């Protein structure tokens, strides 16, 4: 595995602490092995649970497929199953991919494996698999985050008295974390918590202002329209996302890529804030490393807690 640039060492330390590894290189190799284990031992070996978690993403036809699979034996041929349910083979393929499988063949293999299992999945099994998922996300973040982008963005933040952050839903919580950190470094950080607020804040953003958009999937089309307008006005756009092909990412001047959540863990087994907070850690680490004097401002905010009562 190619070694990451030295600038990504901040996250390398986090991975080493989490995994208990020694050197950074050894840690990355161990994480890669953990990633392979995740493919073999999914977070939920129970297909019924996997389907339940994925239902929020199903179309009406996929709900029909799910209901049939839970109530009937599954044949080994996708064409035969498609005929029984009265759907196309491509619909079945899309369905199995939403469960996190690469193909119907892989899904059927897991189905047969579950039929042959004599003991149910235990809580310890789930805890072990959850740990592997955490390590897998850490590994993905380590590979995706770019030190050069973080350095340039740190310079952009440092050159301004403050900046704006957009984050809706779970992303709002990540935005609050980012605000707290940089506010204590002396930066004014304004959070825009929903698209409707853009109606009020949008006209106030001018050329040279910095807007950091936090969106894990990057698929809010209404927000994209606002970003088009802001881009034309000269606002500097930063996108923190896992979707590098999203229209948001294409519009952005800077993109901080982080890990995506796939399969059943994307519906709540692992918080969607986790990869976002890791990206914030990465950016913050670069900022205070480059501008060490800013730590003095942070410590000023700690005095009331550090001084004896």
Q: Is residue 2 part of a domain?
A: no
pLDDT of residue 202: 83
Question: Which residue, among 141, 165, 131, has the nearest Cα to 19 in the 3D structure?
Answer: 131
Number of domains in the chain: 3
User: If pLDDT is split at 50, 70 and 90, which confidence band does 32 have?
Assistant: very low
- 104 part of a folded domain: yes
The pLDDT of 47-63, averaged and rounded, is: 82
Instruction: Measure the CA–CA gap between 225 and 248, rounded to whole angstroms.
Output: 9
Measured distance CA(252)–CA(169) in Å, rounded? 21
Residue-level pLDDT at 197: 86
| Whether residue 165 is found in the same domain as residue 279 | yes
* Count of helix runs (H) and strand runs (E) in the chain: 15, 5
Predicted TM-score (pTM) of the model is 0.67
Residues 179 and 286 in one domain: yes
Query: For residue 30, what are the domain limits?
Result: 14-41+121-141
Same domain, 240 and 291: yes
Q: What is the pLDDT of residues 98-117, one digit of tens each?
A: 888 888 998 888 888 777 76
CATH number at residue 179: 3.40.50.10490
Query: Residues 236, 112: one domain?
Result: no
Region of poorest pLDDT, from 36-50, 86-100, 111-125, 259-273: 36-50
Residue 167 to residues 4, 187, 278, Cα–Cα distance (Å): 29, 18, 16
Q: What pLDDT does 147 receive?
A: 92
Which long-range CB contacts under 8 A does 75-81 form with residues at least 24 apart?
A: 76/108, 78/104
Instruction: Give the torsion sign (CA, 215, 218, 223, 229).
Output: positive
In this structure, are 33 and 131 located in the same domain?
yes
Across-strand partners of 161?
none
Same domain? For 166 and 110 the reply is no
Q: Which CATH number fits the domain that encloses residue 60?
A: 1.10.10.10
* Rounded average pLDDT over 190-200: 86
Sequence-separated (6 or more) residues with CB below 8 Å from residue 155: 290
Q: What is the pLDDT of residue 3?
A: 44
- Closest-CA residue to 262 (of 101, 126, 29, 76): 101
Which of 52-66, 114-128, 205-219 is the least confident region?
114-128
Task: Answer whether residue 182 is part of any domain.
Answer: yes
Categorize the per-residue pLDDT at 261 as very low, low, confident or very high, splitting at 50, 70 and 90.
confident
Tens-digit pLDDT profile for residues 41-51 = 443 446 777 78
208 and 174, same structural domain? yes
| 109 and 228 part of one domain | no
DSSP state of 252: -
> Is residue 180 pLDDT above 80, yes or no?
yes
Is residue 228 within 8 A of residue 251, CB to CB? The reply is yes
Task: Check whether residue 168 and residue 128 sit in a common domain.
Answer: no
pLDDT higher than threshold 80 for residue 186: yes
Residue 80 lies in a domain: yes
Predicted confidence (pLDDT) per residue in 279-288, tens digit: 999 999 999 9
Average model confidence (pLDDT) across the chain: 80
Domain annotation covers residue 6: no
| 137 and 159 inside one domain | no
pLDDT of 292 over the 70 cut:
yes
From CA 137, how far away is CA 261, in angstroms rounded?
Answer: 8
Is 4 inside a domain boundary?
A: no
Q: Provide the strand spans (E) within 161-268.
A: 162-167, 188-192, 210-214, 236-241, 254-257
**Would you give the DSSP letter of residue 281?**
H
Residue 298 and residue 155 share a domain: yes
- Choosing from 78, 108, 141, the residue where a domain stops is 141
Lowest mean pLDDT among 59-73, 122-136, 232-246: 122-136
Name the DSSP class of 203.
Answer: G
Residue 228 belongs to a domain: yes
- Report the C-alpha gap between 20 and 31 in whole angstroms: 11
Q: Which position has the higher pLDDT, 168 or 210?
A: 210
HEC letters along 148-167:
HHHHHHHHHHHCCCEEEEEE
Distance separating alpha carbons of residues 121 and 114, to the nearest angstrom: 10
Is the same domain home to 131 and 201? no
Look at residues 106, 141, 176 and tell me which one is the last residue of a structural domain.
141
For residue 60, being part of any structural domain is answered with yes
- Residue 51: exposed, middle, or buried by beta-carbon count in 10 A (0-12, 13-18, 19+)? buried
Q: Which residues contact 12 (CB under 8 A, 6 or more apart)?
A: 4, 24, 27, 28, 142
């Amino acid at each position: 595995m190619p070694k990451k640039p030295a600038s990504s060492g901040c996250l390398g330390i986090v991975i080493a602490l989490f995994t208990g590894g020694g050197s950074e290189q050894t840690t990355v190799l161990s994480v890669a092995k953990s990633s392979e284990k995740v493919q073999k031992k999914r977070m939920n070996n129970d297909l019924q649970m996997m389907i339940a978690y994925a239902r929020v993403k199903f179309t009406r036809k996929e709900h029909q497929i799910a209901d049939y699979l839970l109530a009937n034996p599954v044949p080994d041929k996708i064409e035969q199953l498609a005929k029984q349910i009265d759907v196309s083979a491509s619909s079945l393929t899309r369905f199995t991919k939403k469960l996190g499988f690469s193909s119907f063949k892989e899904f059927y293999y897991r189905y047969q494996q579950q039929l042959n299992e004599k003991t149910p999945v235990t809580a310890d099994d789930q805890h072990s698999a959850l740990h592997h998922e955490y390590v897998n996300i850490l590994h993905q973040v380590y590979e995706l985050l770019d030190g050069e982008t973080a350095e340039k963005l740190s310079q952009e933040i440092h050159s301004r008295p403050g900046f704006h952050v957009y984050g809706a839903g779970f992303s709002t919580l990540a935005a609050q974390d980012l605000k707290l950190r940089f506010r204590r470094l002396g930066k004014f950080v304004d959070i825009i918590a929903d698209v409707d607020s853009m109606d009020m804040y949008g006209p106030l953003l001018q050329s040279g202002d910095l807007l950091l958009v936090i969106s894990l999937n990057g698929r809010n089309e209404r927000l994209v329209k606002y970003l088009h307008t802001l881009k034309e006005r000269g606002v500097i756009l930063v996108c923190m996302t896992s979707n590098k092909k999203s229209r948001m990412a294409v519009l952005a001047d800077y993109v901080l890529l982080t890990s995506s959540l796939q399969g059943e863990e994307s519906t709540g087994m692992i918080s969607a804030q986790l990869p976002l907070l890791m990206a914030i850690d990465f950016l913050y680490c670069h900022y205070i490393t480059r501008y060490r004097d800013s730590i003095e401002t942070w410590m000023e905010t700690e005095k009331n807690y550090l001084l004896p009562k």
